[in-house]
Amino acid sequence: MALLPILTAPDPRLKKKSKPVEAVDDDVRRLMDDMLETMYAAPGIGLAAPQVGELRRVIVLDIDREEVKTGPLFMANPEIIEASNEDVSYEEGCLSVPDHYSDVVRPAKVTVRYLDRDGKQQDMTCEGLLATCVQHEIDHLDGILFIDHISALKRNMILRKLLKARKEKERDEAEGKPAKDKAKDAEHAL
């Protein structure tokens, strides 16, 4: 297993549409396993392949909450086949949009059809945080970030701040300063 670097916005690869996998073979399984390890290390509750620079329709999730303990979920070619008329708003974050959080409105309940880690087709009906997260991950496969669901004013403010933070990080690294701690990210992961 290996930890993969996570791309952050703005990055042109995060705006691209990912391609379906032809089959869940050993190569796809290796990507899934590396993504899960990368997601746990981040830490995060979901990760989509384009976030690690792989433009393939593969996502992993693990929502470990009191109400729902899914364990690790691996999905290739996930598709929403049914969505509720009822919507919910959830404060979302993204490993590719570090340190920014916004309320996003999405269907409260969705059914997702996908190929599991063994290549078997499955349908799963999701509610609560899992429903939000699976929609957030499938958006990544279509080049959509949660900030694309908020006002252009707020989105552009976040993108400007991300660019500024990246420049400061590059400058600090060039000067040999230590990286900032990740306690704040951990707090927002769930």
Minimum CB distance to Ni ion, residue 7 (Å):
10
Yes or no: say if 51 and 18 are a contact pair by the CB < 8 Å rule: no
* Site residues (CB under 6 A) for ligand GNR, limited to 39-68: 44-48, 51
Residue 137 annotated as catalytic: yes
Minimum CB distance to ligand GNR, residue 153 (Å):
21
Please identify which residue in 136, 147, 155, 158 interacts with ligand GNR, judged by CB under 6 A: 136
Minimum CB distance to Ni ion, residue 96 (Å):
5
Count of Cβ atoms closer than 10 Å to residue 91 Cβ: 11
Q: Which is nearer to ligand GNR, 60 or 175 (CB)?
A: 60
Buried b (16+ CB within 10 A) or exposed e, 59-87: bbbbbeeeeeebeebbbbbbeeeebeeee
How many Å apart are CA 119 and CA 22, to the nearest integer?
A: 10
Per CB under 5 A, 94 contacts Ni ion: yes
Give all strands of the β-sheet with 46-48 in edge-to-edge order.
Answer: 46-48, 58-61, 73-83, 109-115, 121-127
CA angle 49, 127, 40 (to 5 degrees): 40
Stretch that binds ligand GNR, among 18-26, 115-123, 135-143, 154-162 (CB under 6 A): 135-143
Minimum CB distance to Ni ion, residue 127 (Å):
20
Q: Of 135, 150, 158, which Cα lies nearest the Cα of 48? A: 135
* Site residues (CB under 6 A) for ligand GNR, limited to 76-95: 90, 92-95
Q: Which is nearer to ligand GNR, 74 or 90 (CB)?
A: 90
Candidates 79, 91, 137, 173; catalytic one: 137
Helices and strands, counts by H and E, the chain: 4, 7
Task: Give the residues lining the site for Ni ion (CB under 5 A).
Answer: 94
Catalytic residues: 137
Task: Give the residues lining the site for ligand GNR (CB under 6 A).
Answer: 44-48, 51, 90, 92-96, 132-133, 136-137, 140, 189
